[in-house]
Structure 1
Amino acid sequence: MKKAELVFIPTPVISHLASTVEVAKLLVDRDERFSITFLIMKLRFDPKIDRFINSVSTACNRIRFIDLPKDEPDPNQPRKFLFSLIEAQIPHVKEEVFKLVSQSESSPDSPPLAGFVLDMFCTSMIDVANEFGVPSYIFLTSGAAFLGLQFYFQALHDEQRVDPIEFKDSEAEWVMPCLANPLPAKVLPSFLLCKEGLARFLVQARRLRESKGIIVNTFEELESHAINSFSNGNTPPVYPVGPILNLGRDGHRDVESDKFKDIKQWLDDQPLSSVVYICFGSMGSFGVDQVKEIACGLEQSGHRFLWSLRQPPPKGTIEPPSDYTNPQGVLPEGFLERTAITGKIIGWAPQTDILAHPSVGGFVSHCGWNSVLESIWFGVPIAAWPLYAEQQLNAFQIIVELGLGVEIKMDYRKEFISDGNENVISAGEIERGVRFLMELCDERREKLKEMSGKSRKALENGGSSFTWLGRFIQDLVDQLP
């Protein structure tokens, strides 16, 4: 049996890194021929990445991590930061891959380089793989419908000269192969609707077409329509191998065990399915005006709540939100006293542990794809409140395509890099959404429970994702020299 080394290059944010590591674990667990080297770009402001990597390194002997030199671009250019960071790392990646290749050539025990697995934002690294004469595969941390949307709009722009920016704020609807229902322009991803974002999007979509295959964090039963749309041979092969979830929460357990003890104790004291959990992901936060409206909406709904409330980063920066030392100053007067029995305010939260708890009956979410998959896995319905990136599309899928959630505001938009100005959703809208969520009809809850079962079966021996992963491995092995 030929052994093979894969180089994984993830985007350096925890939401992408964690699921990419889980894919790597699946590969080495499934096939003993593979060993994997991660090349890690570091960000000075995210210590979670170090903790995470340290915990994985000790657990997996065929997955290793190499830190690339810290070569951060100008922090005063936040909108270009991520792509500038990736571009700046190309010489360092070449250097590390050259070392790997030299080692395999000089040592019969070192496996030869078989290919790159690149994060969806790292498509510029395809050039490096080409230089070394190995194939590139993409790991898409979003869903299959988003992949279909990328190919659709790239082809529309390049072949028919259609500019999606012209449809900003219009009532237009798009009929595309990856969705069963027409998609309103108002829920198109934000980056399609601005000049700079569209230019990057088009480059990325064109480069996706150059890859040998695209691994997608989804499963056939969830996105069958989108997955079937790739069968015409006009795109690289697509492998739905999800849901890929970091259920072990590597790197978090020791640090947060005391913090979760307090949360768990409170959840243990609540009735079954009675708590609504509010969280907007690792990068989601709001200004004071919106925080007050959320607080009033929750209080007026009368439902129990667990709210992950984060402090926004300084305006115009890409740093993640932080926990409040004392949230009292941003909440309505007397709110904490009035809701002391029925509600709990927390900071950053161990989300999978919370969604797994039997007292949690609903989830107000930004609809990041990881959160969508986690809500399905644990059978907790979502009230959709998307913020940025492709989250509006994810919300549309959950509500319209799948009928597994409800809407707070599906077309809400908030800039990823905040300038301090934001639309404010009223307490009344939030109250209505929470009530609708927590009083969801049995039919929808049953539908979600069924999909939850399918998500687990997909990963089992003989399940759809298990089979697709086997197909990917075979295609990869067939490419070996």
Structure 2
Amino acid sequence: MKKAQLVFIPWPDIGHLVSEVEAAKLLLTHHQQLSITVLILNHSSVNPKVHNYIESQQASLSTISNRLRIIDLPKGETDFSFVERQKPHVKEAVLKITQSESNIESPQLAGFVVDMLCTPIIDVANEFGVPSYIFFPSSAASLGLLHYVQKIHDEEKFDPNEFKDSDATLPVPSLVNPFPAKLMPFAILSREFPFLLNNARRFRETKGIMVNTFLELESHAIESFKMLPVYPVGPILHLGSDGTNAHQEIMQWLDDQPPSSVVFLCFGSMGSFGEDQVKEIACALEHSGHRFLWSLRRSPCPGILASTCDYEDPQEVLPEGFLDRMAGVGKVTGWSPQAAVLAHPAIGGFVSHCGWNSVLESIWFGVPIAAWPMYGEQQFNAFEMVMELGLAVEIKMDYRNESGIIVNCDEIERGIRGLMEHDSEKRKKVKEMSEKSRMALMDGGSSYFYLDGLIKEVIDNLA
């Protein structure tokens, strides 16, 4: 068997980076003759969580595999031409790799896997005469939406901002149902749109797109791609024990709760609410009567771009006496080890912002979601989970955290009660999909099949 080397270029955001590094590890388990080098594009606004994750991975590489390397590139300034300016650094790093591994036993450079936002690096792959693949960290349906929006923009001069607050629907081929335009991802409605379009146009130059999903979850979306070769290779998850030891108090509290009795509220690394909204959530939790674990965070976190941090004293934003009244029922905490919490048998439901990684974790652990999207493409994910797949209930699907709208206590309570119904059809569907997500990655499963197909193509490309 030929030895092959792939170069991975993740976007330096924690949600993109983690799933791409985990995808690299997954590929390595499938082919012993494969090596992967991950090149980290550094910029001045990188969240410290990115550095912490990279350092933890570099420290454990000897135990993971001697076929995986992570190399930091020089730091650059953050703007929409950031990746373009990183091309010389990428070329230099790959030249060093190929020159240091020039003997007959060394792996041969077989291709680049570039994040959906790093398509300028395709030019570097072309210079080396090897193919490129896209890594798409979100759903197949959202890939279909991006493809659709790019196509109608270029062919019909479609301006998504015309639909920003309208009741119009769009016939997105990757969805069964008409898509409400007001749920359009924020990046498509913002100044990021040209940047996103430029990346999307280049997808067709590649040999295929790795998508963090699995066939059984998104069969319609995956089958809707006629011209783009799509490889659903997920669910790609980072289920390490990060933070669990540091948060024993949370896990011990969960140990004392009955099975499937606790609703977990957690809104991602950028998810936070103002004081008025926090009080409405507290009211809903108190009235619902359900046990709860609430990861309550504040924003902005001083000195850290686009991130939240813990309250020194959460009582400053909670209703007076709330913590005393809820002492035997619920727990308010700061940062929580989300995967470890979702894995705990006491958790019966998840009030979530619907980031795609969180969606996949909830499915993996068989925990139904109440959708409360906030930013990014989360409104689209919420629509897919609630309306397309029937795997979630809605709290407020069209919520955007910059809108200033307050979701009232009754709406939130209604969502929590629907979420925690023990014999609901949604709960059964999520449990069934959980089994399918695990089967997909096993020998003979759908994602296992697609991974093998992708590796075969990479090896066959070698001269």
Where structure 2 has 5 or more consecutive residues not aligned to the other structure, the ranges are none
In structure 1, the partner of 2:416 is 434
Q: 1:445 aligned to 2:427?
A: yes
RMSD of aligned residue pairs (Cα, Å): 1.8
Cα distance in 1, alignment partners of residues 265 and 59 from structure 2: 28
Q: 1:214 aligned to 2:197?
A: no
In structure 1, the partner of 2:359 is 372
Cα distance in 1, alignment partners of residues 303 and 145 from structure 2: 29
2:71 match: secondary structure: strand
**Aligned-partner residue type, residue 257 of structure 1:** N
Cα distance in 1, alignment partners of residues 311 and 60 from structure 2: 29
Structure 2-normalised TM-score? Answer: 0.95
Contact 1:383/1:407, CA 8 A, preserved across alignment: yes
Contact 1:15/1:282, CA 8 A, preserved across alignment: no
1:477 match: secondary structure: helix
2:265 match: secondary structure: strand
In structure 2, the partner of 1:66 is 71
**Aligned-partner residue type, residue 455 of structure 1:** S
Q: 1:224 aligned to 2:219?
A: yes
The structural deviation recorded for 1:149 is 0.7
**Aligned-partner residue type, residue 89 of structure 1:** Q
Describe how 1:1-400 pairs up with structure 2 within 5 A: 1-42=1-42, 43=46, 45-46=48-49, 47-58=51-62, 59-73=64-78, 80=79, 83-105=80-102, 107-194=103-190, 196-230=191-225, 232=226, 234-235=227-228, 237-249=229-241, 252=242, 255-259=243-247, 261-313=248-300, 318-400=305-387
Cα distance in 2, alignment partners of residues 447 and 112 from structure 1: 45
The structural deviation recorded for 1:218 is 0.4
Contact 1:69/1:92, CA 8 A, preserved across alignment: yes
Q: What is the percent sequence identity of the aligned residues?
A: 59
The structural deviation recorded for 1:325 is 2.2
Contact 1:45/1:319, CA 8 A, preserved across alignment: no
The structural deviation recorded for 1:50 is 3.5
**Aligned-partner residue type, residue 209 of structure 2:** I
The structural deviation recorded for 1:21 is 1.6
The structural deviation recorded for 1:216 is 0.5
In structure 2, the partner of 1:476 is 458
The structural deviation recorded for 1:256 is 4.0
Contact 1:268/1:359, CA 8 A, preserved across alignment: yes
The structural deviation recorded for 1:18 is 1.8
Structure 1-normalised TM-score? Answer: 0.91
Cα distance in 1, alignment partners of residues 158 and 77 from structure 2: 36
Contact 1:309/1:346, CA 8 A, preserved across alignment: yes
Cα distance in 2, alignment partners of residues 478 and 157 from structure 1: 36
Cα distance in 2, alignment partners of residues 140 and 280 from structure 1: 22
Contact 2:58/2:70, CA 8 A, preserved across alignment: no
Contact 2:263/2:347, CA 8 A, preserved across alignment: yes
The structural deviation recorded for 1:124 is 1.7
Cα distance in 1, alignment partners of residues 270 and 60 from structure 2: 23
**Aligned-partner residue type, residue 368 of structure 1:** G
Contact 2:371/2:396, CA 8 A, preserved across alignment: yes
**Aligned-partner residue type, residue 245 of structure 1:** L
In structure 2, the partner of 1:77 is none
Contact 2:8/2:38, CA 8 A, preserved across alignment: yes
The structural deviation recorded for 1:55 is 4.4
**Aligned-partner residue type, residue 94 of structure 2:** V
Bigger drift between 216-225 and 41-50 goes to: 41-50
The structural deviation recorded for 1:380 is 0.5
Describe how 1:405-416 pairs up with structure 2 within 5 A: 405-415=392-402
1:69 match: secondary structure: strand
Cα distance in 2, alignment partners of residues 14 and 256 from structure 1: 19
Bigger drift between 296-305 and 370-379 goes to: 296-305
Cα distance in 1, alignment partners of residues 61 and 413 from structure 2: 45
The structural deviation recorded for 1:87 is 3.4
The structural deviation recorded for 1:330 is 1.6
Cα distance in 1, alignment partners of residues 330 and 82 from structure 2: 41
Change (3 A) 1:390 1:122: same
